[in-house]
A and B are shown apart, each in its own frame.
Chain A
């Protein structure tokens, strides 16, 4: 399967909350509102993983959510990009030790782009998209 540039310009995102505090959720919704509006880059939030190209995950993975996260990840058709938004999904952050967390997101599924911040500002999330795009472009040029 050849990844073309049109993939980069039409990223549909599915948002998955794997146990976050809602802070990142709000900022993700804030991103789609008029002040930031990523639809100008062709990005939109979709309601089902089947339509998605990007999986946006927030929060450390709670045990109960792990299976669902894996299932959602499997449901997204190839090719796909995984973005982990917010410190606690990246490394646990403030929830650094617990008995009911499965670990940072990258212990469960591979992550392509991390967006640190607690929560990241909306622009930081857009910057995360830009980072993902540069990674895609690099891969499309055949560089590792």
Chain B
């Protein structure tokens, strides 16, 4: 059950996790990208946090839409439009419901996943954040309640699966075969996104 409070914790947890892992994200992006993923995400979550301190929201959808707007206008790079579009669609799917059941939430996440796919023209196995979004959403879609520990594990394994992939999209694609052997930074931050949600939901229950 996701209330407006849970949505807020989700975003706050995401902020914490991003800031804790900022250097790690930067290091990952230096290996196969341009080294700014940690910086980009940190800028986004800090701006989002400021916004959350200032405004109050009636529904999870309203809160997530506001977060989407911050991500779109503050992150830039590849991750800004991707997280921004995903959250925008999640919020749209949430509509003005005051609470979301696990099933509602899975529909929201599915909309987010589709947004990442569409905006990034990403396919499975191309070594992008989609390789976390897709398995996480696909695994749990259709279930009545979410096993949050299992979801976290799925996300973690999905991140690991990117190591062996040969990048086809994003900057890592320029490396061709040299991208193999490295974790995709956006996949790593997406794991944090789902972990933040799981932690918020588990605390709620």
Is B truly associated with A? Answer: no
A interface list, Cβ under 8 A from B: none
